[in-house]
Amino acid sequence: MIEITTHQNYYIAKIKFAEANMEQSDLFKQEIINELDSGHTHILISFENVNYIDSSFLGALVTSLKHAMAMGGDIAVYGLNENISQLFELIRMNKVFKVFKDLPGSYQAGWIA
């Protein structure tokens, strides 16, 4: 469901499906939480493969972010298409998640672009 790679001092979780919806949200959330619990506390989620996202998946993202923050970590997002980017802006998820157009250089008390 997600492919984990490392980049500088954080982890990239690349979503491997095109429609991020209620069918994937529970398993996705569990996989991200497992990564966080294994010590990968700073995760950049890549949406490069994703065409659409729904409210269920957004809920899973927020749950994951809360879990990360409780551990002193953080979750950012990357590679949003126009459809998903508009949705993030519309409901102000761009104020909740740091949104990157390019891979950030590193994480040092905040994401460094």
List residues near another protein by CB under 8 A: 19, 21-23, 52, 54-56, 58-60, 62-63, 65-66, 69-70, 82-83, 86-87, 90-92, 95-96
Q: For the CB of residue 44, give the shortest distance to another protein in the complex, in Å.
A: 16
Cα 82 from Cα 50, distance rounded (Å): 11
Report the residue number, 4 or 62, with the smaller CB distance to another protein.
62
- Shortest reach from residue 13's CB to another protein, in Å: 18
Of 4 and 54, which CB lies nearer to another protein in the complex structure? 54
Query: CA 87 to CA 45: how far, in whole Å?
Result: 16
Closest CA to 1 of 66, 46, 37: 46
Pick the closer one to another protein by CB: 5 or 89.
Answer: 89
Q: Which amino acid is at 49?
A: N
User: CB of residue 81 vs another protein: minimum separation in angstroms?
Assistant: 10
Please, which residue, 5 or 112, has the CB nearer to another protein?
112
Tell me the C-alpha to C-alpha distance, in Å, between residue 45 and each of 10, 27, 73, 79. 11, 15, 13, 9
**Rounded distance, CA 73 to CA 67, Å?**
8
